[in-house]
Amino acid sequence: MRTILHCDLNSFYASVELLDLPELRASGAPVAVCGDPGSRHGIILAKNEPAKAMGVKTAETIWQARRKCPDLVLLPAHREKYRRWSGVVNAIYARYTDLVEPFSIDESWLDVTGSMHLFGGTGRAVADQIRAAVRSETGLTVSVGVSFNKVFAKMGSDYKKPDATTVITPENFRELLWPLPVTELLFVGAAAARTMAGYGIRTIGDLARFDREALVSILGKQGATFHDYATGAEHAPVIPARDQPGPKSVGNGLTFRRNLVGWEDIRSAVAALADEVAGRLRQEGLKCTAVQVTIRDPNFKDICRQKRLPAPTYVSRDLSEAVMELIRASWEPTAPIRALTITGQSLVGEDDAGEQLDLFARDAAPRRDRLERLGHTVDELRARFGRDAVGLASSVRDDMGLDGERKDDVPAVD
């Protein structure tokens, strides 16, 4: 039987921010990490335990959170900081097994079946050692679920927080998990739960006892998956990051502090977003062969346009020019824009990204080579001196929200 761990960093974003604020951390004040507090649509991305006790919830708006908790301390999000600490913690996990599968920035599965004899001989012993190592070396805490499959291991890490180990076995999973609402099961959303409620399925136990074939007729293939999850029949392997397929797209979006109006505003925003997307493509060693832009107006109406690129690229100028062509062809510049998202699509590895030479644009490839080298130089400078060490002159527009790290792609975490 396998021994799978699911490690979930507690209040990750808030805990990372409080590492640099020891006095605030020691005060026990309710703290939340959020989108820009000055924006019109800031949301709670993460909260610490005192804020959670006051009813503050992830993904609710700032004003909703402050109605519940007037003393809530709001901190801005810093994506690069979270990525760095996630890497540090996953390096600790890698000491215990080479089978580490990141599930999100603050969660990972570990298969310790073949290595736990080196660390006490049981999954609980490994989990407790990992919790102690993370706490002593980083100041962060982690809750760990230990079980015989990935789904139950994740449910174990959710079962008791913070800084706890929960072991779910073939003998106790019915007692611990079956009384829980069916929405506590991995990937069971509100729509599926409503459908199942129509057939009397309200708990995980109800789901497990329901006829599997009948569930398939109700929910399709998803019904069989949910039934396997509930009964402990799920046996998916832990797939380390090195063996996982690469991303299918790379994008970045931003809800602006004020509406964009006019080509100058739009060009500045596009340049900043394209710079971020290009940097991520280079980081992944990928080029995109198509680009997409999504435009949202103040009434939350979206339009989406995309186009093929003349050559695979991870150059920000190429992306900016293509996106501006799309916007000019489909948008009236006097119409206000609330948010923009730029996405590089149809990705290829940089070593596989061939380019057909154009006899009428002989300088295109050398120009792109120069811009690619420039992009890599910018990446190196930012890695050494920080994200803000090198920026675009056109993006220094604080009133729009392009400064700092106020990107909408910082995901909410529990």
Active site residues: 107
Q: Please, how many CA atoms are within 13 Å of residue 78, restricted to the half-sphere of its CB?
A: 18
DSSP code string of 50-119: HHHHTT--TTSBHHHHHHH-TTPEEEE--HHHHHHHHHHHHHHHTTT-S-EEEEETTEEEEE-TTTGGGT
Residues 98 and 70: their CA atoms lie apart, in Å, by 45
CA pair distance 1, 147, nearest whole angstrom: 10
110: closest CA among 243, 244, 225, 237? 237
Please give the Cα distance from 307 to 323 (Å, whole number). 9
| Amino acid found at 322 | A
**Single-letter amino acid, residue 125:** A
**Spatial strand order in the sheet of 73-76:** 44-47, 31-34, 73-76
Distance CA 123, CA 334 (A): 61
CA 278/CA 347 separation, integer angstroms: 12
Residue 406, amino acid? R
Using a 10 angstrom Cβ sphere, with 0-12 exposed, 13-18 middle and 19 or more buried, the burial of residue 112 is buried
| Residue 46 backbone dihedrals phi, psi, to 5 degrees | -165, 160
Q: How far is the C-alpha of 215 from the C-alpha of 218, rounded, in Å?
A: 5
**Rounded Cα gap, residues 199 and 215, in angstroms:** 10
